[in-house]
Structure 1
Amino acid sequence: MGSDEIRNGVCNGGGGGKGKEKYKCKRLMTIPTILTLGRVAAVPLLVSSFYMDYWWSTSATTIIFLAAAITDWLDGYIARKMLLGTAFGAFLDPVADKLMVAATLVLLCTKPFEVIVFGEVPWLLAVPSIAVIGREITMSAVREWAASQNGRLVEAVAVSNLGKWKTATQMTALTILLATRDPSLIGPGMFGASGIFLLYVSAALSLWSLVMYMRKIWRIL
Structure 2
Amino acid sequence: MVNKTMAVLLLGASLAFASSASATMTQDRDEFENSDTAYEYGYSTTSQFGNEFTSDVKSVSLDNVNMTSSVPLTIYQVATSWGKSPWIEDYVGQVLSSNFSQSITLTFDKVVTGFSFLGMANNEGNTLTFSAGGEKLTLNSNSTDNPGGGDYFAWFGKGISSLTISTTDNDGFAIGKVSVVTNGQAVTPVPGPEAGAGLGALALGSMALYMKRRRKEDAAVA
TM-score w.r.t. length of structure 1: 0.23
**Higher RCO (C-alpha 8 Å, min separation 6):** 2
Q: Larger Cα Rg: Structure 1 or Structure 2?
A: 2
TM-score w.r.t. length of structure 2: 0.23
Query: Higher strand fraction: Structure 1 or Structure 2?
Result: 2
Query: Higher helix fraction: Structure 1 or Structure 2?
Result: 1
